[in-house]
Homo-oligomer: A and B are copies of this chain.
C-alpha cells in the first residue's frame, strides 16, 4: 500500500501558536502506536485503527508504519479524505443508509481503494446494493450488537441478515461489533466477554446459514488489551493514539500515556478557582456521569475542570497554590475525538517545543 501525505503539506517552521490550541506529544503518540501494535500481535489480531479519533493522514500513516493492515472510518466523507491521501484499505464501520447520491460516492470510492461497508438491516443492504448498481467492487460486514444497544442486530439474527445481503447481490465478508458498553470504570472486562460471546454466536449463525466469515472485527480502546480468545480476527481501537481523561479515569491509561492536550492560558483568577481560555469549543463538552469533571490538568492531577463554557474552563483549585494569570496549562480533554474535530490543525510537540503542524484533514466530515 502506497500512502502519500504530501497532499496535506506540513509547515516545517516552528510556529508559536496563540492559546487555545491542541498539542500532540509525538513521542508519547509513537509509544502508544507501538504498544497497541504489540497488543494486537500478542492476541493474533489484525489491527485496523479507527481514524475518526485523529482525522489526520499523518497519524494514519504512522499507524500503518506500526503494522496496521488498514483503517476504519465512520462516514463516507472521512473515507473520501483518506482515499484522496492514498490510503488503500478502508472500512466504513457504520450501517450506511445509501441513497442514490451516497451510492455514487461509494462507487467512486470503491474504484480507489479496497472498501468494506457495514450493514445492520436487510432494507439497508438492499438500498446499498440498488444504489451501487447491484453491489460493486466492495464488500460488507454485518453489524452485531454485543451489548452497547446502539446499532447492529442481535447475534442470532446475523445469519438471516447476511443471507439477505447476499440475496441483494452484496459480497458478505464477515461480521463486526463495537463493545461501547466498555466505557465506564470497571466495565471493560465484562464488555470484552460480551463481545467475544456475541462474535462467536454470530459466526456460528453465519456458518449455519452456509456463510463462512473471513473478517470477525471488534474492539475498543478500553477492551483492546483484554485477551478473550474466540473467533475475532481484527481489532479496531481509536482513542489509544492519544488517550484522554475518560481513558485515564477508566484505568485504561496513565497520565504519562496521554499524547493530546489543549494548551490554555489562565485569563482570570478568583479565590478557589482559575479560568482558562480553552472552553468547550476547544475541549468538547463530553462529560459522562462517572467522570470527575470536564477534563483534567496534565501537570496538576488533583485539579479538575469543574465548569465549562464555550471559551472558559473553570478549574477548581482549592487547597493548592493557584497558578498566576498568564500561565499556560495543559488540559486533558475528556474525549480526544471530540476535541480534535473542533480544530483545524494539531501542533506537534517534542519535549514541550512545537516542531510541526498537522492538518485535521477530515474535520467535520460527517456525511
Q: Which A residues form the contact surface with B (CB < 8 A)?
A: 16-21, 52, 74-75, 94-97, 99, 101-102, 120-121, 123-124, 127, 145, 149-152, 180, 265-270, 273, 275, 277, 280-282, 284-287, 307, 309-312, 314, 325-326, 335, 337-338, 341-344, 364, 366-367
Contacts and interface: CB of A to CB of B under 8 A. Distances in A.
B344 A97 contact: no
A351 to B, nearest CB: 22
Contacts of A275: 150-151
Contact of A343 (B277, B311, B343, B364): B364
B150 A367 contact: no
Contacts of A285: 284-287, 335, 338
Given A18-B367, A150-B268, 7 more contacts: A16-B101, A17-B367, A74-B311, A150-B314, A151-B312, A281-B341, A285-B335
Given A96-B267, A268-B121, A342-B342, A150 B309 contact: yes
Nearest to A344: B364
Contact of A337 (B96, B286, B310): B310
Nearest to A105: B18
B151 A366 contact: no
The DSSP consensus for interface residues of chain A is loop
A19 B367 contact: yes
Contacts of A99: 18, 326
B269 A121 contact: yes
Given A280-B338, A285-B285, A307-B150, A120 B268 contact: yes
6 contacts: A18-B367, A20-B367, A152-B268, A280-B284, A310-B341, A344-B364
A193 to B, nearest CB: 22
Contact of A326 (B97, B265, B287, B325): B97
Contacts of A74: 310-311
B149 A270 contact: yes
A342 to B, nearest CB: 6
A23 to B, nearest CB: 13
Nearest to A18: B367
A357 to B, nearest CB: 14
